[in-house]
Structure 1
Amino acid sequence: MKCPVFEINEEISLIGCIAFGIIDRGTNLLQIRPISTCPLSCIFCSTDAGPKSRIRQSEYIVPLDYIVEEFKRIVKFKGAYKIEAHIDTVGDPITYPKIVDLVHELSQVKGVETISLQTHGSILDEKMLDRLSAAGLTRINFSIDSLDADLAKKLADTEWYDITKSMKLMRYITSETSIDLLVAPVWIPGLNDDDIPKIIGFA
C-alpha cells in the first residue's frame, strides 16, 4: 500500500512521536528519525514498514534544518557531553534524501561524540558509504538476518534484496572506510535459528 508522505513543519513538535523526530529516553543517546519510509517489507517488522505495508496510513519526512536545530537545542539542554546521535527510523534512514548532510550537520554539534546509523543496507552502495564516512559517520549498525539468499529474501519479503551485496558492503566498510561496523541480526525463532551462528561467524 502506497502512503502519502507528509512533511513535518515547525508547527509540529519533533518530540513525542515514535514515527519521526527526536527520541530522548533519558540517556546520552538521542534517536534521530528524519523519515519513516523503507524499501523492504520485512515479515517481522514491528512497525509494518515497506511497500507491502498493510496498516500504515501515512509516511513522514522532516526538513534537514528543522531536525538539526531541534537536535542542537536538546543536546544543549542535556549538557552537551558525550552525546550519541543514533539515526534510526521506523523504516530505513538511507531513504532520507539528505542523509549525508544530516550526518555532517550532527557531527558538527558541540558535545556529540558518536554518529551512528541503523540500516539493512539494501539501497546502500560504496559511493554512499564513502560520502557517509567523509561526512563524519562513526558507526553503522548493519542489519542482516540470514546469509542464505533465499531465506534473506523471504525475511525481507523483497525479491530484489541481495544479501551477497550486503556482505560485500560490510567488508568494504571495514576495509575502505573509517566507519565502525556493528552487525545487528534479528533472531526470529523457528525461521533463522541456524543462521545466527553463521552470522556471528561472518562478523
Structure 2
Amino acid sequence: MLLDTYGRTATDLRVSLTDRCNLRCTYCMPEEGLQWLAKPELLDDEEIVRLVRLAVTRLGITDVRFTGGEPLLRRGLVDLVRRCAALDPRPKLSLTTNGIGLARTASALAEAGLDRVNVSLDTLDAEVF
C-alpha cells in the first residue's frame, strides 16, 4: 500500500506511454519544441505490464491511467491494454487523449478492456487557453 505524507492511500497509477504528440498545445509544447526521447529510454511493453502488475499486486493500485504525449500514437496500444486488463486483480484502465485517432481505435480498445476514455479539449491558440 502506498501512503502520501497526509496518510492517504494512493490507488491510481499514471503511465506515460510516449512523449510524442500530434498537436502542439501551448501548455504542453513550448514554442521551441521538445527533444523527443530515444526509443531505448522509453519503457517497452514488457516493462509496462510488469510495472502495472507490481503496482496492482503489491501496492494496492486499482486504477491505471495511460497518458502521453498522445497515447494513441503508441504502437501496440491495444495489446498493451489487453494484457493489463488480464491482470489479477484487474485494474480499471483509462486513457487520456486529445481524441485524434480515437474513432479508428475506440472499438478495439473497448474490446481489449479499456474502461474509460478522457478526452482533453484544449486549444492550439495561446490566447484561448
TM range (shorter): 0.7 to 0.9
Match in the other structure for 1:63: 44
Match in the other structure for 1:140: 117
Residue 72 of structure 2 contacts residue 101 of structure 2 at CA under 8 Å; is this kept in 1? yes
State the alpha-carbon separation in 1 of the partners of residues 27 and 75 from structure 2: 26
TM-score calculated relative to the size of structure 2: 0.79
State the alpha-carbon separation in 2 of the partners of residues 27 and 111 from structure 1: 16
Q: Deviations over 1:118-159 (max 9, x none)?
A: 00111222x3111001000100001113xxxxxxxxx236xx
Residue 115 of structure 1 contacts residue 137 of structure 1 at CA under 8 Å; is this kept in 2? yes
- Please tell me the residue identity of whatever aligns with 1:86: R
What is the aligned counterpart of 2:59 among 66, 72, 78? 78
- Please tell me the residue identity of whatever aligns with 2:111: A
- Please tell me the residue identity of whatever aligns with 2:57: K
Residue 85 of structure 1 contacts residue 106 of structure 1 at CA under 8 Å; is this kept in 2? no
Match in the other structure for 1:191: 128
The 10-residue stretch of structure 1 (133-142 or 66-75) with the greater mean CA deviation from structure 2: 66-75
Q: Deviations over 1:18-47 (max 9, x none)?
A: xxxxxx9761111111211101001222xx
State the alpha-carbon separation in 2 of the partners of residues 79 and 113 from structure 1: 10
Residue 35 of structure 1 contacts residue 93 of structure 1 at CA under 8 Å; is this kept in 2? yes
Q: CA deviation at 1:77?
A: 1.5
State the alpha-carbon separation in 2 of the partners of residues 68 and 135 from structure 1: 14
What is the aligned counterpart of 1:110 among 72, 88, 96? 88
Unaligned runs of 5+ in 1: 1-23, 146-154, 158-187, 193-203
State the alpha-carbon separation in 1 of the partners of residues 124 and 75 from structure 2: 22
Q: Provide runs of 4+ in structure 1 moved above 3 Å.
A: none
Residue 114 of structure 1 contacts residue 138 of structure 1 at CA under 8 Å; is this kept in 2? yes
Percent of residue pairs identical? 25
Secondary structure in 2 matching 1:72: helix
Unaligned runs of 5+ in 2: none
State the alpha-carbon separation in 2 of the partners of residues 120 and 112 from structure 1: 26
- Please tell me the residue identity of whatever aligns with 1:78: L
State the alpha-carbon separation in 2 of the partners of residues 113 and 71 from structure 1: 9
- Please tell me the residue identity of whatever aligns with 1:67: I
Please tell me whether Structure 1 or Structure 2 has the larger radius of gyration of its CA atoms. Answer: 1
Check if 1:119 corresponds to 2:97. yes
TM-score calculated relative to the size of structure 1: 0.52
